[in-house]
Structure 1
Amino acid sequence: MSVFRMPPWAEPHLYPNCRFDDLTTAEIGLLKERLKGFCPEFPEVSIVIPAWNEGDNIFRTLSSLSASRSKFAIEIIVINNNSTDHTQEVLDKLGVINYLQKQQGTPFARQMGLEKAKGKYFLCADADTLYPPDWAQCMVEPMAASSDVTGVYGRYSFIPPPQGKRFGFWLYELFTEVIIRIRKNKREYLNIYGFNMGLVRQIGLETGGFKVDGNRVYNGVVGNDNDNDAEDGRMARNLRTRGRIHHVTAPRARVFTSSRRLMDDGSLWKAFTKRIRYQLGIFKEFT
């Protein structure tokens, strides 16, 4: 886990203080060329990214995924969830496979991705997250090795805001690791987030997909987060009816996701205290 700074693999994909329009023609051309290798005719793995108004973020995610190395053929798909910014323009300029889902919400976007994907294995990614080169390989290996493994999820860290430091987030992540271990006993599905999970696609389709009664929107979760009837937790519970979920703990599979939702609480300290009070309040449910 990176304590004081972002890991070296992530640095080429950070594009600090850059919007997509700030990229040079050469930078866009190079990224487009790298992404050409991720639209094979017969993919074994599908990486699917839902995006809503992520025009100035998603190129970073795509940049990181374009550096993926795997023995499996990988396709990258973006589901444009009715964006009103320049997300579609970015996708067109980079030549990424994409589809428009007009029905707003991550469950609908992820479900369309599940139906459009061609790979045997389906990996969920997000438009504000960076993925290390071996992420796809590490996530798929447990499913490829055992038919009993129907899904996987991985570890994550946070990208600090501009001029922010990693150390405080590292402490927060240590606390999160403890909670993950505790919840694994009875409510492992609460550990599984859509920006860092994978599944056997056909089993996902057969057991109900990402369909939920409520709807997670992009600025929050509808309903009780502890019950987590959002699309990722629901999918995890569906997958467990046909096998087991494997926790991928390899350091080379740790992703780095945006800290903007933590910062919505006002500060890292406020986010930490809010969540620790919540977790302590429901501790008995996990033991």
Structure 2
Amino acid sequence: MSANKKFLPHWLTKHLFAYDPAHLPLDKVAELHRKLARFRVDTPEVSIVIPAYNEEANLLNMLSSLAEQEITRPTELLVVNNNSVDRTQEILDACGVRSIIERKPGVAHARQAGLMAARGKIMANADSDCLYPSGWLEALTAPLQQPQVACTYGLYSFLPSEKSSRISLFFYEKAAHLINSVRNRHRAYLNVYGFNFAFRRADALAVGGFEVDSGREGSVAELIAAGAPPPPSGRCEDGLMALALLNEGKGKIWRVTSINARAWTSDRRLVAEGSLVKAFTKRVWHSVRDLGFYLSPSQKTPS
């Protein structure tokens, strides 16, 4: 995980260290093994569940951020290895992280496997290539103490690479979150990001779990990051889960705007577009085109 540290929050820079997956820094691994020991509990109240596919280049950075979490309840950390062929499993084992292997390819299968294996009453979803502030878990899950809230999601910021600047990414995020606010009135499920949302596990099981044949690899957030609109049907595993919880009367979808609930993720989807201007233009065009749908109070979705 590479990023220009300029203009980044101070807490973030300590987790952006470089390492060689083939020659892990033993001192860092030992430190993480020690700090992550508090997540090795038998009866957790909260489960942090993370899918991972060939994430050897990012795992230590992500684990470093989770090792600093300020937790007030027994919490477990569970990583679902989705058939990785690199050193992902080796890194997880070295750091003492509980993991399971899901042979069926695709993030939806990995999330469903994590749901079934998790032991906490609350499930917080994260991703292997993201970094999380120390107050992330508490900020994201606190609203679930209200029975009328079924699902929470936080916002995101992008880590700049050599092909982007933090300043330009900041303005892109501002525009993206403005559109997010518009959708949040009647289409909040389209804003739910697989790398940053939480729900009660019993509710998720009651609605049948994740939609494993959701028709896409990836999540709503990945489409948004690429400047593409989420499918109106919500057919992504994260959006479908939120929509199912809403439609089955489990409660409302809650947008957590606290800076503590903001995940920092790679800008690789944006860079793939060629430029931020191109990604921004595409995003605005799709949003204007779909504005009527976003503002419609009906919860019905097109077939």
Instruction: Give the Cα separation in 1 of the matches to 2:199 and 2:25.
Output: 37
CA contact (8 A) 2:164 2:271 kept: no
One-letter identity of the residue aligned with 2:184: K
Instruction: Give the Cα separation in 2 of the matches to 1:153 and 1:279.
Output: 20
Give every structure 1 segment of 4 or more consecutive aligned residues whose post-TM-superposition deviation is greater than 6 Å.
Answer: none
Secondary structure of 1:34's match? helix
Question: What is the CA distance between 1:70 and its match in structure 2?
Answer: 1.7
For residue 151 of structure 1, what is the aligned residue in structure 2?
Answer: 151
Question: What is the CA distance between 1:24 and its match in structure 2?
Answer: 2.0
For residue 278 of structure 1, what is the aligned residue in structure 2?
Answer: 286
Question: What is the CA distance between 1:193 and its match in structure 2?
Answer: 0.8
Instruction: Give the Cα separation in 2 of the matches to 1:66 and 1:261.
Output: 27
Instruction: Give the Cα separation in 1 of the matches to 2:216 and 2:92.
Output: 24
One-letter identity of the residue aligned with 2:94: K
CA contact (8 A) 1:48 1:79 kept: yes
1:38-72 deviation line (CA, Å, top 9, x unaligned) = 11111111000101111111221111011000211
Tell me the C-alpha RMSD between the 2 structures: 1.9
Secondary structure of 2:10's match? coil
Aligned with residue 240 of structure 2, among 201, 220, 234: 234
More moved, 236-245 vs 112-121: 236-245
CA contact (8 A) 1:80 1:101 kept: yes
For residue 76 of structure 1, what is the aligned residue in structure 2?
Answer: 77
Question: What is the CA distance between 1:238 and its match in structure 2?
Answer: 1.2
Q: Would the alpha carbon gap of residues 215 and 53 (structure 1) be closer, same or farther in structure 2, given more than 3 Å must change? A: farther
1:174-218 deviation line (CA, Å, top 9, x unaligned) = 101111111012211101010000000100111121124334325
One-letter identity of the residue aligned with 1:243: G
Matched, 1:184 2:184: yes
More moved, 272-281 vs 59-68: 272-281
CA contact (8 A) 1:64 1:131 kept: yes
Question: What is the CA distance between 1:23 and its match in structure 2?
Answer: 4.0
One-letter identity of the residue aligned with 1:114: L
Matched, 1:253 2:261: yes
Instruction: Give the Cα separation in 2 of the matches to 1:74 and 1:162.
Output: 36
TM-score (norm 1): 0.93
Instruction: Give the Cα separation in 1 of the matches to 2:36 and 2:130.
Output: 17
Aligned residues: 282
One-letter identity of the residue aligned with 2:276: L
1:77-104 deviation line (CA, Å, top 9, x unaligned) = 1000011111111111111100000000
CA contact (8 A) 1:52 1:218 kept: no
Aligned with residue 6 of structure 1, among 5, 8, 14: 8
Percent identical among aligned pairs is 39
For residue 169 of structure 2, what is the aligned residue in structure 1?
Answer: 169
CA contact (8 A) 2:196 2:263 kept: yes
Secondary structure of 1:64's match? helix
One-letter identity of the residue aligned with 1:231: E
For residue 47 of structure 1, what is the aligned residue in structure 2?
Answer: 48
For residue 90 of structure 1, what is the aligned residue in structure 2?
Answer: 91
Instruction: Give the Cα separation in 1 of the matches to 2:37 and 2:215.
Output: 34
Secondary structure of 2:195's match? coil
For residue 33 of structure 1, what is the aligned residue in structure 2?
Answer: 34
CA contact (8 A) 1:212 1:234 kept: no
TM-score (norm 2): 0.88
For residue 301 of structure 2, what is the aligned residue in structure 1?
Answer: none
For residue 132 of structure 1, what is the aligned residue in structure 2?
Answer: 133
CA contact (8 A) 1:212 1:229 kept: no
Question: What is the CA distance between 1:227 and its match in structure 2?
Answer: 2.7
CA contact (8 A) 2:214 2:237 kept: no
More moved, 118-127 vs 30-39: 30-39
Secondary structure of 1:78's match? strand
What stretches of structure 2 of length at least 5 have no aligned partner? Answer: 224-228, 296-303
Matched, 1:61 2:67: no
What stretches of structure 1 of length at least 5 have no aligned partner? Answer: none
